[in-house]
């Protein structure tokens, strides 16, 4: 799958100047992280980027189109048959015209922070894809004086699924639209550098990526998708020729609810690969602290360890794994907890992680006044449609208040609790039952009995209530739990061609029918002598013929 030749030559036709598409005014806006040097990061409201390095340069933009504030770089997602990405058709360059389903801007906050390592410049942007119910939240952070910045994005899905997400750009290497490719196997970093070998642009994955690619800019976009259809994805190659290049990283993952992906994007006269701190582990996420403890083969031990300052806030997970002397894990355990940096701590929980549409979600939590003074505050819980709980509270120092409410589960349910200067969120998964079914029966049978089987597998996230009938015999109603598979057997016997059937109803609907051929068929013909019959022994000729497709053992009685 590739673009038409005219699309590939669009940059040349415009003389490396911006094309003239009919842009919708003010659809795509941006907020710059411009507090320090040398980088200015223009974060657009459609999950796209332009990066300015050295604003005094005549071509400061590091993404094509170099003189535009909004450019062709950003975040993409494959989900539920959609290829979702920035609204390139409303970007000034006009060169990235692959017509993805676009992110719809939802909200963009102000730049916060002071630009120090402990308090970097940060901006949060929210976009949604309304047809699929997907949302994306980006957090971009920058420390003054660094030649790289960090991109974190949260992917939230209405139903659990295998997805692919991409970070990609059409490079403009400090005044040059052409460059060579580079790849660092130790870190998984991919990027490009200019003809003079004195300017580099590099993507470094923090969460390990699945694939990478560097090549011609239109190959980057075609590999992600074209005309609303997913492309082949990135193929772990770079082009060592001098070309009009771009590059990107791809992450393949299973997302149940929300998942976070992170990467660095660096620029400079020498290749910069920032240290990935904290490291990422597939089992438990980003590792803030870890230790190894000895344990004898027989006995029980209690451990008390000081983790020190974690330098983060929010929901964390204490995760432990027990392994044998050979390194084979045999047990795990986990304990979630919260870290707060405010005068008020706030939690928000639901009674389950997964619901069916229309079920009741029981919501609960606790507010704690962690300051030394009495606080007056308003506790509010919203569900994305409106306020579901609001209470005025007066809490003395270190006093807590527990709250509870309920709401109906909907496909786009996002719960947000606020109290004083604290915020807590929860996005339980709301999913319909998903059941796969298959029916197996032989094509040809003999006169002995044979088995047919209906197999049902719950591939979804919620229990499925089902009824089934196989070969005319009903099965008692049953519930199939997520991940459970059930096989229903029936024994059938026939002496002629027939059709066996199975039906499934309830939370899934299937109708199966399977023709079965009787393969043991014989014919008998007698050659009876004509009248008159003579006394004594008379010879009667007969013919027994197998006209079926199976060997036949036929008893004969004349």
Give the CATH class of 5-281: mainly beta
Counting residues of the chain whose pLDDT is more than 70, the rounded percentage is 85
**According to the model, what pLDDT value does residue 12 have?**
45
Band the pLDDT of 25: cuts 50, 70, 90. Answer: very low
Is residue 344 a contact partner of residue 370, using CB atoms and an 8 Å limit? yes
> Is residue 387 pLDDT above 50, yes or no?
yes
> Is residue 359 pLDDT above 70, yes or no?
yes
Give residue for tokens 């204490």: 318
> Is residue 279 pLDDT above 70, yes or no?
no
**According to the model, what pLDDT value does residue 287 have?**
67
Residue pLDDT, tens place only, 466-497: 999 999 999 999 999 988 999 999 999 998 99
Q: Token pair of 79, please?
A: 């989900």
**According to the model, what pLDDT value does residue 299 have?**
66
CA proximity to 380, closest of 443, 425, 435, 319: 425
Query: Whole-angstrom Cα distance, residue 420 to residue 54?
Result: 41
Is residue 428 a contact partner of residue 257, using CB atoms and an 8 Å limit? yes
Q: Which residues pair with 422 in a beta bridge?
A: 419
Q: Residue 493 carries which DSSP code?
A: -
Domain extents in the chain: 5-281, 344-430, 435-518
Band the pLDDT of 285: cuts 50, 70, 90. Answer: low
Residue 228 C-alpha from the chain's centroid: 18
**According to the model, what pLDDT value does residue 19 have?**
38
**According to the model, what pLDDT value does residue 283 have?**
57
Residue 22 C-alpha from the chain's centroid: 33
**According to the model, what pLDDT value does residue 282 have?**
57
> Is residue 336 pLDDT above 90, yes or no?
no
> Is residue 142 pLDDT above 60, yes or no?
yes
> Is residue 193 pLDDT above 60, yes or no?
yes
Residue 446, C-beta contacts closer than 8 angstroms, at least 6 positions apart: 518, 519, 520, 550
**According to the model, what pLDDT value does residue 319 have?**
75
Q: Token pair of 398, please?
A: 């270190």
For domain 344-430, the question of CATH label 3.30.450.30 is answered with: no
Band the pLDDT of 49: cuts 50, 70, 90. Answer: very high
What average pLDDT does this structure show over 438-459? 95
Average pLDDT across the chain, whole number: 86
CA distances from residue 44 to 28, 123, 138, 165 in whole angstroms, order as listed:
7, 11, 11, 18
**According to the model, what pLDDT value does residue 341 have?**
55
What average pLDDT does this structure show over 123-147? 93
**Buried b / exposed e across 159-187, counting CB within 10 Å, b at 16+?**
bbbebbbbbbbbbbbbebbebbbbbeeeb
CA proximity to 245, closest of 172, 188, 189, 165: 172
Give residue for tokens 């027989």: 298
3-class DSSP state for residue 10? helix
Band the pLDDT of 42: cuts 50, 70, 90. Answer: very high
Residue pLDDT, tens place only, 230-265: 999 999 999 999 999 999 999 999 888 888 899 999
CA distances from residue 505 to 437, 469, 502 in whole angstroms, order as listed:
11, 9, 10
**According to the model, what pLDDT value does residue 481 have?**
93
Domain 344-430 and domain 435-518 have a common topology: yes
Q: Which residues pair with 315 in a beta bridge?
A: 338
- Residue-wise DSSP of 229-266: EE-----SB---S-BSEEEEEEEEEEESSEEEEEEEEE
Q: Which residue has the higher pLDDT, 553 or 97?
A: 553
Pairing of strands 82-85, 101-102: parallel
Band the pLDDT of 225: cuts 50, 70, 90. Answer: very high
Is residue 49 a contact partner of residue 160, using CB atoms and an 8 Å limit? no
Residue 445, C-beta contacts closer than 8 angstroms, at least 6 positions apart: 494, 516, 517, 518, 519
3-class DSSP state for residue 197? coil
CA proximity to 259, closest of 231, 228, 280: 280
CA proximity to 391, closest of 419, 421, 363, 368: 419
> Is residue 103 pLDDT above 50, yes or no?
yes
Give the CATH class of 435-518: mainly beta
Query: Whole-angstrom Cα distance, residue 455 to residue 446?
Result: 24
What average pLDDT does this structure show over 16-34? 60
Longest Cα separation, the chain: 128
What average pLDDT does this structure show over 406-430? 86
Residue 418 C-alpha from the chain's centroid: 28
Q: Token pair of 451, please?
A: 């088995």
> Is residue 338 pLDDT above 70, yes or no?
no
What average pLDDT does this structure show over 423-451? 91
- Residue-wise DSSP of 44-113: ETTSBEEEEE-TTSSS-BSBSSTT-SS-SEEEEEEETTEEEE--GGGSSS------PEEPEEEEE---BS
Return phi, psi of residue 287, to 5°: -90, 115
Counting every residue, how long is the chain? Answer: 558
Band the pLDDT of 297: cuts 50, 70, 90. Answer: low
> Is residue 106 pLDDT above 50, yes or no?
yes
Q: Which residue has the higher pLDDT, 425 or 328?
A: 425
To 10 degrees, the CA torsion angle through 390, 392, 397, 402? -40
**According to the model, what pLDDT value does residue 150 have?**
94
Of 62-76, 274-288, 297-311, the least confident:
274-288
Q: Residue 383 carries which DSSP code?
A: -
Helix %, strand %, coil % for the chain, to 5? 5, 50, 45
Is residue 548 a contact partner of residue 518, using CB atoms and an 8 Å limit? yes
Query: Whole-angstrom Cα distance, residue 307 to residue 66?
Result: 46
């Amino acid at each position: 799958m590739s673009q038409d030749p005219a699309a590939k030559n669009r940059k040349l036709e415009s003389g490396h100047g911006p094309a003239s598409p009919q842009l919708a005014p003010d659809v795509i806006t941006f907020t710059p992280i411009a507090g320090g040097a040398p980088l200015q990061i223009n974060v657009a409201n459609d999950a796209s980027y332009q990066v300015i390095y050295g604003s005094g340069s005549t071509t400061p933009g590091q993404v094509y189109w170099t003189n535009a504030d909004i450019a062709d770089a950003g975040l993409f997602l494959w989900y539920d048959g959609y290829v979702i990405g920035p609204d390139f058709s409303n970007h000034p360059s006009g060169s990235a015209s692959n017509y993805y389903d676009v992110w719809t801007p939802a909200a963009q906050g102000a730049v916060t922070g002071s630009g120090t390592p402990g308090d970097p410049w940060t901006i949060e942007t929210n976009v949604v894809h309304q047809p699929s119910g997907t949302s994306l939240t980006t957090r971009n952070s920058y420390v003054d004086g660094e030649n790289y910045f960090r991109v974190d994005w949260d992917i939230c899905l209405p139903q659990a699924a295998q997805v692919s997400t991409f970070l990609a750009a059409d490079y403009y290497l400090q005044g040059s639209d052409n460059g060579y490719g580079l790849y660092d196997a130790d870190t998984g970093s991919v990027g490009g550098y200019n003809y003079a070998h004195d300017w580099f642009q590099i993507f470094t994955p923090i969460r390990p990526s699945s694939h990478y690619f560097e090549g011609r800019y239109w190959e980057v976009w075609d590999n992600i998708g074209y005309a609303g259809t997913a492309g082949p994805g990135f193929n772990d190659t770079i082009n060592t020729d001098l070309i009009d290049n771009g590059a990107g990283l791809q992450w393949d993952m299973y997302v149940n609810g929300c998942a976070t992906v992170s990467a660095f994007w660096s620029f400079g006269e020498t290749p910069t690969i920032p240290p990935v701190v904290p490291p990422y582990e597939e089992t438990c996420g980003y590792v803030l602290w870890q230790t190894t403890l000895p344990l004898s083969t027989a006995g029980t031990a209690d451990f008390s360890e000081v983790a020190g300052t974690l330098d983060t806030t929010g929901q964390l997970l204490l995760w432990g794994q027990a392994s044998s002397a050979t390194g084979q894990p045999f047990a795990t355990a986990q304990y979630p907890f919260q870290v707060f940096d405010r005068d008020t701590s706030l939690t928000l929980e639901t009674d389950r992680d997964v619901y069916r549409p229309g079920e009741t979600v029981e919501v609960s939590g606790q507010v704690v006044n962690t300051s030394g003074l009495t606080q007056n505050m308003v506790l509010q819980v919203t569900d994305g449609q409106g306020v579901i709980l609001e209470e005025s509270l007066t809490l003395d120092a270190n006093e807590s208040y527990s709250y509870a409410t309920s709401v109906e589960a909907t496909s786009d349910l996002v719960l947000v609790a606020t109290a004083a200067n604290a915020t807590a969120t929860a996005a339980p998964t709301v999913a319909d039952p998903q059941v796969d079914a298959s029916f197996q029966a032989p094509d040809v049978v003999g006169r002995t009995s044979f088995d047919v089987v209906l197999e049902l597998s719950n591939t979804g996230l919620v229990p499925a209530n089902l009824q089934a009938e196989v070969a005319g015999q009903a099965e008692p109603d049953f519930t199939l739990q997520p991940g459970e598979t059930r096989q229903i057997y029936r024994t059938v016997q026939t002496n002629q061609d027939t059709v066996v059937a199975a039906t499934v109803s309830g939370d899934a609907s299937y109708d199966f029918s399977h023709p079965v051929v009787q393969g043991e068929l014989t014919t008998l013909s007698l050659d009876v002598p004509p009248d008159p019959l003579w006394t004594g022994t008379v010879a009667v000729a007969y013919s027994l013929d197998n006209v079926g497709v199976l060997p036949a053992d036929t008893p004969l009685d004349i």
